[in-house]
Amino acid sequence: MAVGAAEDVEELIPLALRRWRREHQMSQRAAAAQLDVPPGQFARAESSPAQLKLGTVVSLLRSAGYALRVVDADGIPLAGDVRAAEALPRTRAGARFPATAAVVRLGGEPRWMAERGQSFQLRGPQWTGERRPGQYP
């Protein structure tokens, strides 16, 4: 089933959770206990999931055997289109680089070290958002 708008998602999440409950013949309280969430949170997920945090909804769906996927307007999953240059780069602190940064993978040794005959071992970050002429291959 193709989902075209946020309203569709807000209708499908409760349907998925209700279907899971019906298949397992559980009340909301029993389902909440099984998924280890407060009963009120499970009830909100079934009635108006937009009030909950996305992480909570994803966790509930995953526990019930469902998944949310991000797709483009043609229904093609984003995960199949993500390139390593967009998905892998992280700063030393583990955060993603700004969307406007031109991220470059650090490769081997910087040219100036190679020209001097110095050895180089890459430790720490493997990516940089800085690009200085001649610094990185």
> What is d(CA 135, CA 119) in angstroms, rounded to the nearest whole number?
15
List, in sequence order, every residue forming a beta bridge with 71; answer none if it has no partner.
77
Q: pLDDT tens-digit profile of 17-62?
A: 999 999 999 999 999 999 889 999 999 999 989 889 999 999 999 9
Rounded CA separation 58/52 (Å): 10
What is the overall mean pLDDT for the chain? 75
Residue 4 pLDDT: 52
**Stronger pLDDT, 32 or 80, i.e. the higher one:** 32
User: Which pair of structure tokens corresponds to residue 137?
Assistant: 């291959």
CATH 1.10.260 residue spans of the chain: 6-63
- pTM across the whole model: 0.56
CATH class of 6-63: mainly alpha
